[in-house]
């Protein structure tokens, strides 16, 4: 009996073992098929540097100024390069036409953004427009924002940029603290539009709070800053095991508080502004107040940081390769008169092609985001025989494109003449459905400031020595500004000085009155606003 049991037990065991062996063998075969499949897919990717197992090229790309390495890879492997960072496949596009083919012409495939679990999903609860995935909700927010950002609306805001750029040159007459006054300039334009009030000292509580939350956000967005970006499932741990969730929540609350208080001030102000317009829009009907406030707050971030850095780069060009300034001043004097008795304004812009060429060359010489802005593919795609897999991050490497010696003679030289009578670059503002929503406004903000600074001053390096362009002088983050700007502003004549003082004294600086004028001009031009 015992023997009988033992033998049937043995049969059962050997049956179970055989079953396990079959299961194991099947799993092994499936794994091999998977690995082979992955290998075959990988072999169809664009070329790129060899990497380590599992880590890929992670250890080869620095998190600071990664565009330097990206450019090296483009130069070594060609305009289309693939690298892997952990499990993430990244395609580096270093050619204008290829970037246009993919990100503009196939925009439907490349409008997604790479996932940012900590910065985008947890800290901003998916409300950061730049990071939103292209869902119906994203399109609704785009429809909410686009009327006030459109090419039709942008000219109506010129009185704000006119007043604030005049205040900027007045400030620079008194102080060489150019970083402070550029920030005040661009911030004030944005705050008037969105909330109806000015930024005057940079010591306003809103500016302090905005700096704090932006810094926190930027830190979190650094690759590798938080483990949850590599292992998204960690977000489902209870908070006591995942303290990063507390940090994320605190950021969200602080940012929401700032945006809500700003929006309230906008709603309470006398004249029309974007807070009022957004809240009255039909698109806002299904949105919470917080959601609308976040849209405004993100627009304000997007507007200030970028335009500020753009103008800082302009200042850097002035002290690095100053020869262009004389040509610009000759053009300006030819339009407004050589005696300095009139400041250039928006009405003069069409007759100042060299000023436009300076703006274009700034975008080429040193883009605000030299490493480009990442898109992501939402399905497998084929381009020039290469596979760009679903979920890959696609980065237009602007540094590579803009320093292409096949296209630009001496790309290191700041030479606005390149753009006289020539069509500008195709992608200063990004691509396809994700193109910069504020470009019509931003272009005016930077152009009038460039024209007026050059009309008003000889801009010189403080120690009299030209500063050579060098990567180490620029910040290595997403938006890359020069660290130091030791600049001296020397008025071009006593008349220039007097005109700046006089314009400052007599200018209308009350934001309510200026916005009432904006409202009237929009009405006159048949532009339908959504609130009064
Ligand atoms: C010189 C100043 C500026 C520069 C260089 C700039 C550049 C850019 C770039 C390169 C992008 C990404 C495009 C892409 O992903 O392909 C972008 C996105 C964006 N910009 Fe700007 N920008 C500037 C000013 C502004 C201003 C003034 C506003 C608003 C008033 C604004 C609002 C936005 C928004 C909302 C997005 C996100 C679009 C989306 O993902 O759907 N920007 N900008």
- This model of the complex carries an ipTM of 0.99
Q: What does DSSP say about strands 80-85 and 88-93: parallel, antiparallel, or unpaired?
A: antiparallel
Predicted pLDDT at 224: 77
Query: Is the CB of residue 140 below 6 angstroms from any atom belonging to ligand 1?
Result: no
Ligand 1 centroid to residue 438 C-alpha, Å: 6
Q: What DSSP state is assigned to residue 82? A: E
With residue 93 as reference, give the H or E element that holds it: strand 88-93
Query: Is the CB of residue 369 below 6 angstroms from any atom belonging to ligand 1?
Result: yes
For 348, residues 6+ apart whose C-beta sits below 8 A from its C-beta are 335, 336, 451
For 142, residues 6+ apart whose C-beta sits below 8 A from its C-beta are 437
Ligand 1 centroid to residue 145 C-alpha, Å: 13
Q: pTM for the complete prediction?
A: 0.93
Predicted pLDDT at 36: 57
Q: What does DSSP say about strands 80-85 and 381-383: parallel, antiparallel, or unpaired?
A: unpaired
Instruction: Kindly report the number of other CB atoms within 10 A of residue 383's CB atom.
Output: 15
> Pick from 308, 210, 218: which is nearest to 259 by CA?
210
Residue 443 CA, closest ligand 1 atom number: 1
For 256, residues 6+ apart whose C-beta sits below 8 A from its C-beta are 290, 293, 294
Instruction: Kindly report the number of other CB atoms within 10 A of residue 517's CB atom.
Output: 15
Computed from CA positions of residues 391, 396, 399, 404, in that sequence, does the dihedral angle turn out positive or negative?
Answer: positive
For 149, residues 6+ apart whose C-beta sits below 8 A from its C-beta are 299, 437, 438, 440, 441
Ligand 1 centroid to residue 473 C-alpha, Å: 24
Instruction: Kindly report the number of other CB atoms within 10 A of residue 12's CB atom.
Output: 10
Q: What is the full per-residue pLDDT of the chain (532 aa) written as tens digits? A: 545 555 565 655 566 666 777 777 776 766 665 555 566 677 899 999 999 998 899 899 888 999 999 999 999 999 999 999 988 999 999 999 999 999 999 999 999 999 999 999 999 999 999 999 999 999 999 999 999 999 999 999 999 999 999 999 999 999 999 999 999 999 999 999 999 999 999 999 999 999 999 999 999 988 778 999 989 999 999 999 999 999 999 999 999 999 999 999 999 999 999 999 999 999 999 999 999 999 999 999 999 999 999 999 999 999 999 999 999 999 999 999 999 999 999 999 999 999 999 999 999 999 999 999 999 999 999 999 999 999 999 999 999 999 999 999 999 999 999 999 999 988 999 999 999 999 999 999 999 999 999 999 999 999 999 999 999 999 999 999 999 999 999 999 999 999 999 999 999 999 999 999 999 999 888 888 888 8
Gap between the Cα atoms of 165 and 446, Å rounded:
9
Predicted pLDDT at 518: 96
Query: Is the CB of residue 302 below 6 angstroms from any atom belonging to ligand 1?
Result: yes
Predicted pLDDT at 38: 60
Residue 372 CA, closest ligand 1 atom number: 10
Instruction: Quote the tokens at residue 138.
Output: 């994203």
Query: Is the CB of residue 438 below 6 angstroms from any atom belonging to ligand 1?
Result: yes
In sequence order, the β-bridge partners of residue 376 are 112, 393
Predicted pLDDT at 32: 64
Query: Is the CB of residue 359 below 6 angstroms from any atom belonging to ligand 1?
Result: no
**Residue to mutate, 306, 313, 370, ligand 1, most ligand atoms under 8 Å from C-beta:** 306
124 appears as a binding residue in the annotation: no
CB 475 within 8 A of CB 366: no
Query: Is the CB of residue 431 below 6 angstroms from any atom belonging to ligand 1?
Result: yes
Per-position b or e across 241-269, b if 16+ CB within 10 A of its CB: ebebbebbeebbeebbebbbebbebbbeb
Identify the residue whose C-alpha is closest to ligand 1 atom 31: 438
Gap between the Cα atoms of 519 and 528, Å rounded:
10
Predicted pLDDT at 37: 59
Helix (H, G, I), strand (E, B) or coil at 62: coil
- Angle made by CA atoms 249, 250, 254, in degrees to the nearest 5: 115
């Amino acid at each position: 009996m015992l023997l009988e049991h033992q033998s049937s037990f043995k049969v059962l065991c050997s049956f179970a073992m055989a079953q396990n062996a079959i299961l194991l063998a099947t799993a092994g075969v499936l794994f091999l098929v998977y690995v082979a499949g992955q290998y075959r897919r990988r072999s169809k990717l664009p070329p790129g540097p060899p990497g380590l197992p599992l880590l890929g090229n992670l250890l080869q790309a620095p998190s600071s100024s990664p565009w330097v390495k990206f450019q090296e890879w483009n130069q070594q492997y060609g305009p289309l390069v693939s690298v892997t960072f952990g499990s993430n496949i990244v395609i580096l596009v270093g050619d204008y036409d290829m970037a246009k083919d993919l990100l503009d012409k196939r925009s439907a495939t490349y409008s997604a953004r790479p996932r940012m679990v900590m910065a985008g999903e947890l800290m901003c609860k998916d409300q950061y427009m730049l990071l939103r995935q292209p869902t119906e909700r994203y399109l609704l927010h785009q429809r909410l924002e686009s009327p006030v950002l459109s090419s039709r609306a942008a000219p109506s805001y010129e009185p704000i940029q006119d007043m604030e750029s005049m205040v900027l040159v007045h400030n620079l007459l008194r102080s060489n603290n150019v970083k402070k006054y550029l920030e005040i300039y661009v911030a004030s334009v944005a705050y008037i539009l969105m909330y109806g009030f000015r930024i005057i000292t940079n010591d306003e509580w809103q500016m302090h709070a905005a700096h704090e939350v932006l810094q926190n956000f930027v830190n979190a967005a650094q690759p590798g800053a938080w483990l949850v970006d590599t292992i998204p499932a960690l977000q489902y741990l209870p908070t006591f095991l995942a303290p990063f969730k507390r940090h994320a929540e605190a950021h969200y609350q602080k940012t929401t508080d700032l945006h809500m208080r700003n929006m309230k001030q906008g709603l309470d102000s006398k004249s029309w502004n974007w807070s009022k317009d957004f809240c009255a829009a039909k698109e806002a009907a299904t949105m919470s107040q917080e959601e609308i406030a976040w849209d405004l707050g993100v627009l304000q971030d997007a507007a200030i940081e970028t335009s500020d850095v753009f103008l800082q780069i302009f200042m850097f060009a002035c002290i690095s390769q100053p020869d262009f300034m004389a040509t610009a001043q000759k053009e300006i004097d030819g339009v407004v008169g050589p005696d300095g008795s009139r400041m250039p304004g928006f009405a003069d812009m069409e007759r100042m092609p060299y000023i436009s060429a300076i703006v274009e060359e700034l975008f080429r010489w040193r883009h605000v985001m030299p490493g480009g802005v990442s898109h992501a593919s939402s399905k497998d795609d084929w381009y020039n025989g290469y596979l760009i897999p679903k979920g890959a991050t696609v980065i237009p490497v602007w540094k590579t494109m803009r320093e292409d010696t096949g296209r630009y003679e001496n790309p290191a030289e700041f030479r606005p003449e390149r753009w006289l009578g020539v069509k500008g670059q195709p992608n200063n503002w990004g691509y396809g459905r994700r193109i910069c929503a504020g470009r019509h406004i931003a272009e005016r903000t930077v152009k009038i400031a460039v024209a007026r600074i050059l009309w008003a001053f000889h801009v010189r390096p403080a120690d009299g020595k030209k500063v050579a362009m060098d990567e180490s002088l620029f910040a290595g983050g997403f938006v890359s500004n020069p660290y130091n700007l030791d600049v001296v502003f020397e008025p071009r004549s006593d008349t220039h000085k007097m005109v700046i003082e006089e314009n400052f004294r007599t200018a209308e600086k009350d934001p309510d009155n200026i916005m009432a004028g904006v409202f009237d001009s929009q009405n006159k031009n048949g532009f339908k606003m959504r609130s009064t």
